[in-house]
Structure 1
């Protein structure tokens, strides 16, 4: 899958159409390791027909946001639900006049692209700064898993807010990680984004959240308008976000899987760059060659044009997928 960025198309994981074009003789079904989505999805419940046949009531959305607030340690009035985090990434830059944006990177490319599309002057910077009108941070970072301390982010938010600036913190991978979230008390001028689909393995549901204080959260709520989130997403989201036991077990289980994947990568000569419990990023002696071998075996991973040695691997979903990955990584 690709979208348009400042310097041409942005390639994302999950595009099995691209995989099939690159490797037409690969065995099927494909094992997609190119995304950072939990391969063990939340067991979605059976839904009442009304979730599909009627418009969601305001009380339904409020109930979802209340459950999300408890899951994220936030206050309900500071939480807004949206049809996926990507929708928020596209919307937020249009909420203020063009200015100077610093994106701490390299990171998820859609952030810089969205701000540039909205007319902002965007620069990618290596470290946290306040020398801009808007600063964007992904925490933990994608693809290297870098984590920034809450106190540093709060200090940056205070400096920006004093000049009318914003700090946008994308916590898409924070649910299963030891991250000090800003959701409990977002500083003035700070907007936190949280993903649902990655943690719960239900990316197709298209659900995400923003957390902020007033007036920013009110502006965002009005910009989204009514019925932004579907009835099925509300129903499944309420059930999953309230299931604390499942989330704890997922963190432990995916942590074991990440350690297992690290061992396979290192045995294949890879050097772990970082990652989270849902993906691992490594440099290999022959990254392009390994990408090709994996692809011909029906395993699609994420590559990086700016760093050819680097590959990002998601977690295999089952024993057969683990075996196929181990076989390719074990090839001389």
Structure 2
């Protein structure tokens, strides 16, 4: 939009069929929604027939269903898959990511972008991160356990988790703004969305102390909410 193009945000991938450039975040942020691979391949085929392009941002696919990734389909053409080291690998500070595409698209990207300097240490981090499959498997297991634990914790206090990934949880509740403020006052920051006032996104606590802080804050929020309800009851 800043460059003068007409940009629109849609909720259904079928609405992207007539686009010149379609961008799909998969899994989506913040709700964690996953679009099936076959649907994306159908969309890519329609766009490719018109000489158009599908870009799939798979920054969270490292904790998503691998079978739905388009990483192995880019040779068909008209598909670009973006990956990041800043999410699952926790290496946001190295500013490292990469694009997967067919040979012609890669050549066009290189021509348009020119030489892109990446620091040697960043490359080494990326190579080792991708190669350490044992760490990846262990971390996926830990994230799944922590996400399930967080879901149960929120549910205990009346905040049902509606989606997300194992890296973050997606909550939808009428009291979202109040919960956001109550936790924020206790130094626990969730993400609140101005255009989605009933939605929150929560990351996973990092250690047992943080789990206990969150539980105590949720208990205080629940008590305050119940007290206010009694005050307003006839």
In the alignment, does 2:6 pair up with 1:124?
no
The two structures have a TM-score, normalised by structure 1, of 0.63
Aligned residue number for residue 170 of structure 1:
57
Aligned residue number for residue 95 of structure 1:
none
Q: Is the 8 A contact 1:136 1:167 kept in 2?
A: yes
Structure 1 gap ranges (5+)? 1-115
- Aligned equivalents of 1:211 and 1:118: distance in 2? 24
- Aligned equivalents of 2:118 and 2:111: distance in 1? 14
- Aligned equivalents of 2:196 and 2:128: distance in 1? 40
Aligned residues between the structures: 217
SS of the residue 2:87 aligns to: helix
Aligned residue number for residue 8 of structure 1:
none
Q: Is the 8 A contact 1:170 1:192 kept in 2?
A: yes
Shift of 1:227: 4.3
Aligned residue number for residue 274 of structure 1:
163
Moved beyond 6 Å, runs of 4+: none
Aligned residue number for residue 215 of structure 1:
104
Q: Is the 8 A contact 1:182 1:192 kept in 2?
A: yes
Structure with larger Rg: 2
In the alignment, does 2:68 pair up with 1:184?
no
State how 1:52-67 maps to structure 2 within 5 Å: none
State how 1:96-245 maps to structure 2 within 5 Å: 116-129=1-14, 130-179=17-66, 180-186=68-74, 187-245=76-134
- Aligned equivalents of 2:85 and 2:39: distance in 1? 25
Structure 2 gap ranges (5+)? 224-234
SS of the residue 2:138 aligns to: helix
CA 1:261–1:169: 2 relative to 1, 3 Å: same
Q: Is the 8 A contact 1:139 1:173 kept in 2?
A: yes
Shift of 1:273: 2.1
Q: Is the 8 A contact 2:151 2:160 kept in 1?
A: no
Shift of 1:228: 2.4
Q: Deviations over 1:10-30 (max 9, x none)?
A: xxxxxxxxxxxxxxxxxxxxx
Shift of 1:147: 0.7
- Aligned equivalents of 1:177 and 1:256: distance in 2? 15
Q: Is the 8 A contact 1:140 1:146 kept in 2?
A: yes
Q: Is the 8 A contact 1:265 1:282 kept in 2?
A: no
CA 1:232–1:224: 2 relative to 1, 3 Å: farther
- Aligned equivalents of 1:132 and 1:145: distance in 2? 23
